[in-house]
A = this chain, B = another copy of it.
Amino acid sequence: MIVILKPDPNQDQLKSLLSWLQEKGITIHTSVGEARTILGLVGDTSQLDADLIAALDIVEDVKRIHEPYKNANRMFHPEDTVVKVGNTRIGGGSLTLMAGPCSVESEEQVVTIAKAVKASGATMLRGGAFKPRTSPYAFQGLGAIGLEYLKTAREETGLPIITEMMDISQLPLFKDVDVIQIGARNMQNFDLLKAVGRQEKPVLLKRGMSATYEEWLMSAEYIMAGGNHNVILCERGIRTFETYTRNTLDLSAVPVLRKLTHLPIIIDPSHAGGKSWLVDSLSMGAVAAGCDGLEIEVHNDPAKALCDGPQCLRPDAFHRLAGKLLTLHETVKNLEA
């Protein structure tokens, strides 16, 4: 961390700053220039709050040299993290297809879809039992019984299951789930992050609607700081001025995260666009850009249309898409080799 002092800083305040830093075990290299004095801070600067230092009267600006996250930082962990879930490996060159309904509606529904998406090449079943809904009057999900249906679908297909946890109190119910999903709205629910960091199950952490890459990685760091290093990152679109699409898929997240972190990167094209006819193009783009997998909503019952979200694919559409994605992934791997 580099601290640029204002010209002629108050000496008492400067002493106070220096001794405070030294108490924290930071070594200070002072460079006295003609116009400015610059402090180079060496040591564990991830514990320092750059904003607080920048707010001091004597400080012109603060410049971090290292990112404030450690466990998630590729600098300290150069190899890709590969998260293992049953026979599925997420990251490290594979392409993981997570597919399934937005909401679990019935045992029959989820088993049918699970079989269909498995046959198409999906390696994980997604489905919501606890649903974060904007309105208190909207269907809030089947809850615990929905988790049971997912487990039945896992038994019938062998697909590991991933589903969203919304509150710490649900943790015991998730004991038999394969991957815990933390939704965009809870990306900075820090108590929830700490709770899933204290257990061992892999966690898929969605990006908050207006979270920067750094904030997102700091939330991953919350989980990892608790001891759980099985974190998967999932970009699902950010909020921008454009409202034609529900959110704006930030494809740059793929190369940026690849550089900043060793954690696997999943793209959710269904929520990003919010329209089923966008899923095809966005999925193709995400795979070619180098993501580790996709999380795609698939629904089976075109007749029961009202439970079919705007962003859901039908199984036949998913089947065609999955075929294209697997071929595309092979082509891209060969091109990059």
Contacts and interface: CB of A to CB of B under 8 A. Distances in A.
A242 B255 contact: no
A294 to B, nearest CB: 13
Interface stretch (A78-86, A106-114, A183-191): A183-191
Interface in A16-41: 16-17, 20, 27, 29, 31, 33-36, 38, 40
| Top 4 A-B residue pairs of the complex, sorted by shortest distance between their CB atoms | A55-B310, A31-B31, A288-B288, A285-B289
Contact of A284 (B192, B214, B288): B288
Interface in A30-72: 31, 33-36, 38, 40, 42, 46-47, 49, 51-57, 60-61, 63, 65, 68-69
A240 B240 contact: yes
Interface in A236-251: 238-245, 248-251
Given A248-B238, A288-B287, A166 B137 contact: no
A212 interface: yes
23 contacts: A2-B4, A29-B34, A35-B42, A38-B40, A46-B135, A51-B310, A52-B307, A55-B276, A55-B309, A55-B310, A56-B305, A136-B225, A169-B191, A185-B190, A186-B188, A212-B241, A214-B244, A245-B256, A252-B281, A255-B278, A255-B280, A285-B288, A324-B335
Contact of A190 (B69, B133, B331): B133
Given A189-B189, A255-B281, A242 B248 contact: no
B305 A218 contact: no
A309 B34 contact: no
B218 A190 contact: no
B244 A213 contact: yes
A334 to B, nearest CB: 9
Contacts of A36: 2, 40, 65
Contact of A254 (B136, B212, B281): B281
Contacts of A309: 51-52, 55
Nearest to A273: B252
A332 interface: yes
Interface string A111-138: 0000000000000000000001111111
Interface string A288-314: 111000000000000101111111000
